[in-house]
Amino acid sequence: MRNKFKGSGGVKVYSWKILIITLIFFIIAMTYYIKDLMAGDSSAIASILLWIYFLIRGLWVTLNEDGFANNKLNEDIYKQVVKKLFGKWSFIATSGGLILIVFASILSKILPSQKWIAILLFIIGILYHIAVSILVSKHIKAERRKYLL
């Protein structure tokens, strides 16, 4: 929505989706960690500071044209690299570790006597996710060099 008044200096939001998600997650996290802090958990301070950083980063992306453009470029590079590496299987390839971890959690509830299978799937899921993340980040660094970032 464009502001019709000259010189009013309104704030422009470049991504409502990111702004809303940032604010929702920040409010939920702050509620949880402030409750922990009030209960005497001093380690909650680190989490609160981390979530404040995420809020600032989210606001920078949504309210700053340069931040939004940089975020969009990073997103485009990520999509391009993942598509080049995995083709039409890109969603399953990048989410495979998470799928295995969720499956292991469900399996541990369904078959509690076979916990070693769930533990094995959980470890494989974590290792798979780490391996795919390293592979994708290496290709992202190479792709970013093309853009001189």
Asked if pLDDT for residue 33 goes beyond 80, the answer is yes
Q: Supply the mean pLDDT for the chain.
A: 88
Q: Which residue has the higher pLDDT, 149 or 137?
A: 137
Span 25-48, average pLDDT:
91
Cα separation of 18 and 24, whole Å?
A: 10
Span 99-112, average pLDDT:
91
Neighbour count for residue 28 (Cβ, 10 Å): 11
- Report pLDDT digits (tens) over 117-142: 999 999 999 999 999 999 999 999 98
pLDDT at 148: 67
pLDDT at 144: 85
Cα separation of 82 and 91, whole Å?
A: 9
Burial class (CB in 10 A: 0-12, 13-18, 19+), 26: middle
pLDDT at 1: 47
Q: Which of 31, 143, 22 is nearest to 83 (CA)?
A: 143
Taking the domains of the chain in order of start, what are their residue ranges?
Answer: 12-63, 65-149
Span 17-27, average pLDDT:
94
What is the share, in percent, of the chain residues with pLDDT greater than 90? 63
CA 45 to chain centre: 21
- Report pLDDT digits (tens) over 53-71: 999 999 999 999 999 998 9
Neighbour count for residue 81 (Cβ, 10 Å): 21
CB within 8 A of 19, min separation 6: which ones? 13, 58, 59, 62, 63
